[in-house]
Amino acid sequence: MSGSALDGLDERQRDAASVLRGPLCVLAGAGTGKTRVITHRIAHGVDTGAYSPGRVMAVTFTAKAAGEMRGRLRALGVEGVSARTFHASALAQVNYFWPTLAGDSAPSIIDNKVKMLAHAADGIGMNLDTATLRDVAGQIEWRKVTMRSIDAYAAARPDGIGRLSLERVVDLQRAYEKLKDERRQMDFEDVLLACAGMIEAEPRVAAAVREQYRHFTVDEFQDVSPLQHHLLELWVGERHDLCVVGDASQTIYSFTGADASFLLDFPRRHEDARVVRLETNYRSSEPILAVANELMRDRPGSLHLHAAQDADGPTPVVRAFDDDAAEAAGVARSVSTAIASGVDPASIAVLYRAHAQSAALIAALSSAGVASTVLGGKRFFDQSEVRQAVMALRAASVAPLETGFVATVRDVLRSLGLTDEAPPAGGALRDAWEARAALLRLAEEAPAETTLRDFTDQLIARAKDQHEPATRTVTLSTLHAAKGLEWDHVHLVGVSEGFLPISYASTFEAVDEERRLAYVGITRAARTLSVSWSRSSGRSERSPSRFLQEIGTRTLRAADAAATAGGGNRRAGAPTSGRGRSPAR
């Protein structure tokens, strides 16, 4: 990379990236370029000699995010940084040190906690359905990441699970731990516990880890659990080169043990910490940010986002439909109209609170001739059609090419089923076609000097980093799965009481988590945002979400559902009660 790693950063981003020593807390709002700051800061440290790449640990929460971080660092000319998830980092250390400490290889990792729980239940004469087993698995995960023993868990959770009493839940957890030990296996939470235990109990392990890694960066710090925070403190030791980056308004995993107080209290825990606030949003238009700001106004740790220059756009709309079917049909009509006007389907997303809401939307989009992909389904490079295509392209790369690189890729993909015209939307044939078409687009967008061997090498690297190409389909996603992503056009559906906030959110804390989920959904949108809800489930009446009332009518424009989407037959309107001001610009 030529030039400085600080080139191209705005003033606040540059401030953050320039701090290379001591504790640093970067409060980074949605769309403010936090990954850019993290990677450019590391590159700046390497360029100036402050960091040795092999002594930098950059931790994030998903393998995909870690892969993106490694890719960006490579583009900046930095190789050798340990950019991994908490679990991957801990597992590497457990596998390295366990043989030395125990004289044997480390236990294997359970690939299915529910299956292990089922075997444990059988062993103590319990016959449980899969849903109950999943709930118990979730409780085990919560117990471990909050660093509670089984007895402490029982004291903290006075209720059982469904028809399963607390006593029986405890019995099952003990049986699970016993069976796991007998089989010499660990679950994912055990990996973190084992790594922390080794560092605490063995001074030589602590010394080796702290000698290897000197500079630490943690992304999405608002999602850190007590166990992850404890492990991080053990990694860092008495040193102070720790940079944390996060946004309290995007804390949406409290149910798994995430605790935003670690982010909010960072300056108190580290008295000499520098704090930099990133509030210039490079993603969304000003009207969309007005909605987001109003929703989170006065919440603890909230940032006031403002758009970069020339980021005006249409006022977001809210539409009410008569029922769920009308809402799905109306959204599908809007999406179909947008695509017909030239909008790329890949730039459109439909977001919802729960997976169950997707079925009606998939059917409505298919009826409108719109292909869709559900986020969180099978990974792109794990699809059989993609694996077959990569293998065929790899085989073709060892033979002399009779045609150009792109033409060869096209010929190989055509031999596997790629046609000029796409099959009808809504079936497996269309899904396979979209995957092959995405591979062809990657080839067409590759630099002119790319060879077929280069291309297949890049595909294998992308698969490893989970850097998936975009298919030209509309994305359907839960709000949880959408975090960290963005689209030009977002439809946020089901914004009614019972869906958002979800019906079981009964406490203030739970409702506030739902508010943050709505905030995540809103801030995924770059150019247009459409919010909708239905007045009836077919069995009972619904009311608009309290969040719509709080946002008010000055930032969301009421739209006629019938006129804009062909659904519903009454005038749609956002509630006029509640906070009705738009935030200061």
pLDDT for 34-76, tens place per residue? 999 999 999 999 999 999 999 999 999 888 889 889 989 998 9
Average pLDDT over residues 335-342: 95
Distance CA 34, CA 546 (A): 31
Rg (CA), the chain: 25
Interval 402-411: pLDDT, tens? 668 888 888 8
pLDDT exceeds 90 at position 88: yes
* Spatial separation of the C-alpha atoms in residues 442 and 223, rounded to whole Å: 34
14 φ, ψ to 5°?
Answer: -65, -40
pTM for the complete prediction?
0.82
Residues 413-436 have pLDDT tens digits of 989 888 888 777 766 777 788 888
Distances (CA, A) of 147 to 152, 226, 228, 230, 236: 9, 7, 10, 9, 19
Fold matches, 11-90+192-278 and 287-377+473-565: yes
Q: What is the CATH number of domain 11-90+192-278?
A: 3.40.50.300
Position 158 scores a pLDDT of 73
Residue percentage of the chain with pLDDT more than 90? 57
Segment 322-346 mean pLDDT: 94
**What is the secondary structure of 274-288 as a DSSP string?**
EEEEE-EESSS-HHH
Q: What percent of the chain has pLDDT over 70?
A: 93
Query: What confidence category does residue 567 fall into, taking pLDDT thresholds of 50, 70 and 90?
Result: very low
Burial class (CB in 10 A: 0-12, 13-18, 19+), 498: middle
For residue 566, name the pLDDT band (cuts at 50, 70, 90): very low
pLDDT in tens, 359-372: 889 889 988 988 88
Under the banding of pLDDT at 50, 70 and 90, the label for residue 3 is low
**CA count, 13 A, side-chain hemisphere, 543:** 8
Q: Are 531 and 295 in contact (CB under 8 A)?
A: no
- Report residue 260 as tokens: 């935003």
What is the amino acid identity at position 580? G
For residue 469, pLDDT beyond 50? yes
User: Which of 191-205, 444-458, 567-581 has the highest average model confidence (pLDDT)?
Assistant: 191-205
Would you say the C-alpha torsion 185, 189, 193, 195 has a positive or negative sign? positive
Ligand-binding site membership of 426 (annotated)? no
| 32 known member of a binding site | yes
The predicted model gives 11-30 an average pLDDT of 94
Annotated binding-site residue? 31: yes
CATH for the stretch 287-377+473-565: 3.40.50.300
pLDDT band at 553 (very low <50, low <70, confident <90, very high): low
Q: Which stretch of 114-118, 259-263, 346-350, 548-552 has the lowest confidence by average pLDDT? A: 548-552
Amino acid at 465: D
- Whether 565 has a pLDDT exceeding 70, the answer reads no
Average pLDDT on 288-311 reads 90
Q: Residue 54: helix, strand or coil by DSSP?
A: helix
pLDDT band at 377 (very low <50, low <70, confident <90, very high): low
Question: Is 35 known as a binding-site position?
Answer: yes
536 within 8 A of 326, measured Cβ to Cβ: no
Q: What's the pLDDT score for residue 383? A: 79
Residue 555 assigned to a binding site = no
pLDDT exceeds 50 at position 228: yes
* 30 marked as part of a ligand binding site: yes
pLDDT band at 562 (very low <50, low <70, confident <90, very high): low
Output 382 or 11, whichever has higher pLDDT.
11
- 33 annotated ligand-binding residue: yes
Does residue 585 register a pLDDT over 80?
no
Q: Is 553 annotated as a binding residue?
A: no
**Comparing C-alpha atoms, which of 466, 460, 486, 487 is closest to residue 70?**
466
- For 243, how many CA atoms within 13 A lie in the half-sphere containing its CB? 30
More confident residue, 417 or 581: 417
- The per-residue pLDDT for 552 is 72
Q: Flag whether pLDDT at 576 surpasses 70.
A: no
Contact 392, 412 (CB under 8 A): yes
pLDDT at 583: 25
Spans of all domains in the chain: 11-90+192-278, 108-183, 287-377+473-565, 380-465
Average pLDDT rounded to a whole number, residues 253-259: 88
| Average pLDDT over the chain, rounded to an integer | 87
**Beta partners for residue 350, in sequence order:** 476, 491
Question: What is the DSSP secondary structure assignment for residue 190, as one 8-state letter?
Answer: H
Question: Contact 314/438 with Cβ under 8 angstroms?
Answer: no
What three-state secondary structure class fits 139? helix
What's the pLDDT at 437?
85
